[in-house]
Amino acid sequence: MTAINKENSKVFLLTLLGMLSAFGPFVTDMYLPSLPAMADYFSASLPMVQMGLTTSMIGLALGQIFFGPLSDKYGRRPLLLVSMVLFIVSTLLCLFAPDIYSFVTLRLIQGVAGAGGIVISRSVATDKFSGKELAKMLAVIGAINGVAPVAAPVIGGLLTGSVGWQGIFMILLFIGILLGIGCIRFKESLPTEKRSKTGVFATFRSFGIIVHNRRYMLYVLQLAFAQGILFAYIASSPFIIQQHYGFSPFAFSICFAVNAVAIGVAAAISVKFRRTENGTLTGCIGMLVFAILQMAALYSGCGFWTYELLMFALLFMMGLTFTASTTLAMDCERRYAGAASALLGALCFASGGIVSPLVGLGDILLSTGVTFVVCAVCSLLCALWAVKRTALKVAVCRT
């Protein structure tokens, strides 16, 4: 186990990294319930207001590509501080945006800033820990990454009625300031001698190196396809639960919260496997089984409780892979941990951006079920291939 810097206790690191990893989902999703009110406020169409979600997602993907490699060169702490300052400023400007076009542009900047916390939190964990300790730390980060996109709209829905969309952004501003204080207290985790010695532009060439690491890429792709299931669920569930089954927005929020627990519990349980690879494989096989059952149930016009129980089981299995695959991927690329974390995060957000619109094609029940199965099949294939390459590498090392 790698020693922890005396100035940063394990509890402090766990709290800070957990909050940083949740930052992105809260930036994108927390204000979703207030979209109609924002359309009235800016006198804009709902699709135009929704562009703020799109631009923030783009910012979260691009920001990780930017902050990850630069943190390998300049250290984690300076880039964390830059991202927090940028977030605080952009959030303040969002509150006083004169029109919807300014707001949408500022959301892009806010997304870029939020990405710094996500990508660097995984890099710091990789700097400080290895083996089982890394898995335990990433279990928390993975649990939060799984729960946050589901929990953020629920919290936003509970607060929107009382504080409005400006209140939501004031809360985000407060969180940003709180995290900024935490980042000031954070002690650098990447020693100068371990930082990239190349020029600024050459630093980004590390992406070309890590994409040739097949084991790393396979675990990242497995995680991206698993993330596709999560985003397919997020995109389809409001329509399935409220329109198809006729539940109220409050009941929908309760279902969202219950399913978020499934993801968080599974991410925590995944560290109990003797071999991390077993956690990934168990989750992938379970995802495929429950995805097929869910597709068949939706196609046959199942009742709500059948849908909900299968969804709970599917998300639980997906949660098992979050921690295991993130640990395995980051363990493959310790030399370029920042760039590796950046590519992992960017591909997962890209997966969500691609998958989300697919569930709206044709009959949403059928398209959602098919999307679940396709993502589960691809996820399992990537996992099997990655574990096979791991076994081959171990065999070679022993000979």
pLDDT tens readout for residues 16-51: 888 887 777 788 777 766 777 788 889 887 668 767
Asked if the model's pLDDT at residue 3 lies above 70, the reply is: no
pLDDT digits (tens, 9 = 90+) for 348-382: 877 877 787 777 778 889 999 999 999 999 999 99
Asked if the model's pLDDT at residue 147 lies above 80, the reply is: no
Nearest to 268 by CA among 323, 327, 215, 231: 323
pLDDT digits (tens, 9 = 90+) for 185-234: 998 888 888 887 776 666 677 778 888 888 899 999 999 999 889 888 87
**pLDDT at residue 109 in the model:** 92
pLDDT digits (tens, 9 = 90+) for 154-187: 777 777 667 888 888 998 899 899 999 999 999 8
Mean pLDDT of 262-279: 82
**pLDDT at residue 376 in the model:** 96
Q: DSSP letter at 186?
A: P
Please report how the helices 131-185 and 100-128 are oriented relative to each other, as an axis angle in degrees rounded to 10. Answer: 130
Residue 98 to residues 33, 76, 102, 303, Cα–Cα distance (Å): 21, 35, 7, 46
Confidence of residue 397 (pLDDT cuts 50, 70, 90): very low
Percent of the chain residues past pLDDT 70, beyond the cut? 87
Name the residue with higher pLDDT: 136 or 114: 114
Name every residue whose Cβ is closer than 8 Å to that of residue 204 and which is 6 or more positions away in sequence: 69, 339
pLDDT digits (tens, 9 = 90+) for 78-126: 999 999 999 999 999 999 999 999 998 999 999 899 888 888 887 888 7
The CA R_g of the chain, rounded to the nearest whole Å, is: 20
Map out the domains of the chain with their CATH numbers: 7-187 (1.20.1250.20), 213-399 (1.20.1250.20)
- Rounded to two decimals, the pTM is 0.72
**pLDDT at residue 363 in the model:** 85
Amino acid (one-letter) located at 232: A
Instruction: Report the C-alpha gap between 283 and 227 in whole angstroms.
Output: 13
**pLDDT at residue 145 in the model:** 65
Q: Spell out the alpha helix ranges (H) of the chain.
A: 10-29, 35-42, 46-74, 76-95, 100-128, 131-185, 200-203, 206-210, 214-237, 249-269, 276-299, 304-332, 337-355, 364-398
Asked if the model's pLDDT at residue 4 lies above 60, the reply is: no
**pLDDT at residue 5 in the model:** 44
